[in-house]
Structure 1
Amino acid sequence: MATNTSFDGFTLWKNLYDQTENAWRDVIQQTLEQKSFAEGLGQVQSQYLQVQSLVDNLTESYLKQMNMPSREDLSNVASLIINVDTKVDNLEDQLDQLATGGNAEAVDAVKNEVDALKRTVTKLDKKLDTVISLLNTTIEKQNEAILKVEASATNEKLAQVEPQKQPEQPKKAPTQAPNNK
């Protein structure tokens, strides 16, 4: 009497997964609970914050030297645009009130002023978009330069740690003239 057993790859794979997952879960949990792991994470975070602060300071000084606006400058311009937009809305409301009152000349004058303000806001908005795109391009170039500098520094450190070994040249035996006797 033969029993019919078939190979079930899925069950085998699931059992293997469950066993390795349990083992790795325990190892990872122990690692995460160690004080040295937390200290290492704290050091990495501290170094990251120092680098981020340095990059922020360098970016700010670079933008000042290149006579380009910073994020703060852009936010100030954006708030000015919002204020102008609010004033335009208020003028439009006043126009509506005047239009219902029947003063046609005043309405036309205010409409012309509102149209001029709208054109000004549109121009400012386009200029702000241009400045933002230039700023993003500059930041991307600066980040690329920082990555190149970091890669170069890493390569220099590796070169110092692992000096290159020069293969030794085999010594040649002195050649002797054939002896003709």
Structure 2
Amino acid sequence: MSATPDELLTGARRALIDAPKEALGEIVVPRRILGIARAPKIIARGTAWHLGVLLLTDDALLATGEIVRSRHDAPRGYTAESQRHRSELAAAAYRGGFSEGTPVHLGWSPLELNAPTAESASSILALVDGVISVRWNPRGGWMPLHRYLDERVDLLINPPGGAT
């Protein structure tokens, strides 16, 4: 008998109990004071184990979004707008209270584990041949959730040499 999705996640949480979690954040634009705009900041919204395209919290499964490292704001010259945007996000995380260098996940979204269908193939979770599966790459194939969790949990608990 195969494990239910909830049993898979419970087993992963149990295995990861001593593994490090990463911060979840949300961008907040503070109210204006006397009509003057204040810089956005990223505030803490919890923690999760980062398992590739999935974030596992104590009570939910989330799809990853963007990841930034908190960094003190400093004037920098960028030729690419994307670099400027990432730098602004890193500074917003620092303004929100994250210590320098802390990875912060933004734009994550909840996943409904008990309702994937074959039609949800545009998502990272779908029912493939009757098995809940994960797509770790938009152009990649599907991997059964139990195998994906086993692999990612093992990588988090036992990172390869030089990865820490």
- TM-score bin (small chain): under 0.3
**Higher-strand-fraction structure:** 2
**TM-score, length-normalised on structure 2?**
0.24
Q: Which has the larger radius of gyration?
A: 1
**Higher-helix-fraction structure:** 1
**TM-score, length-normalised on structure 1?**
0.23
